[in-house]
Structure 1
Amino acid sequence: MNKTRFIQLIALVLLFTTACKKKDVLPQLTRGKVTVKVNGELKTFTLANSYLNEGVLSFGNDAKKELMGFSIPEVKEGVYDMSHEKIITAIYSKNEVDYGATNGILGIGKKGSFRLHITKIANNKISGTFEMTVLPNSGNGNNITITEGVFEDIPKI
């Protein structure tokens, strides 16, 4: 089941990075808000989903071709830290370049760091904070530091 969550998260990344290349006009998120600093630059994500039953959260920004996704063991209020959980994975993708953090439980080795704090789950919406350092999956390039991540009222789909 834990590998299933990881595979679902990877599928989400592939969906966002291989989707139609023409400039589609995507609907703006009418509920919820995601803000974050990526290497110190403030960003807002307008496409956000949560799969509460599967332990997956994903945030996208089509205009900038960016995506973040998290896979955690279960979704409930509390703190999830990569160094203490059975399986926890974070992915960041920009312009089809993928970065990741994982605790190594999937056999691919520990890399990066990730901490998620779910502060509220109510009415099929989830809110919280997060931070992470992700490394390029290719092994080449610079790490990405993501701080001050805040998500509010992200709807369950």
Structure 2
Amino acid sequence: MQTPYRKPGKYANLKSDPLITKGKFDELQKELEKLKKAKPAAVAETARLADLGDFSENAGYQFAKGRLRGINRRILELESQLDHAEIIKTQQQTDTVEIGHSVTVEFNNKQKTFQILGSAETDPTTGIISQHSPLGVALIGSAVGDKVKVKSGDREIEYKIIKIE
């Protein structure tokens, strides 16, 4: 059976965003340290199970080998991410919106606060948006009192900037 070919989506080959907060950087470092401490035990377990013989019917060995691969993959990902990370330095000056700022906006007679961070920390449900998101792009460089328009699907939403922190 042939695997169907699918065209990659528009977000398939984006480079990862190196901008992260100091808190996220520290969190990733702790995860890396934890994985590096867990790796020797995983290697020992894999070696112990390999000594049992027949690899084809040794489910424990296959599982341990997969776990070790996962640990190695995540260690490489974290080392790469930390090597290329750029820590967001929040500006004290809040004349205009910049990465790291919290922005309170008004739209549809409601007020909502968004924090603009790098893509690695984005969580729209908690109000953390990326500087690359349509709203993030529209807000960056704007000042209190400015109105920005963001196209959302087939409609356009106007946001008025109330406060920058």
TM-score category (smaller protein): under 0.3
**Going by fraction, where is strand more abundant, 1 or 2?**
1
What is the TM-score when the length of structure 1 is the normalising length?
0.27
Structure having the larger proportion of residues in helix: 2
Q: Under a length normalisation based on structure 2, what TM-score does the superposition of the two structures give?
A: 0.26
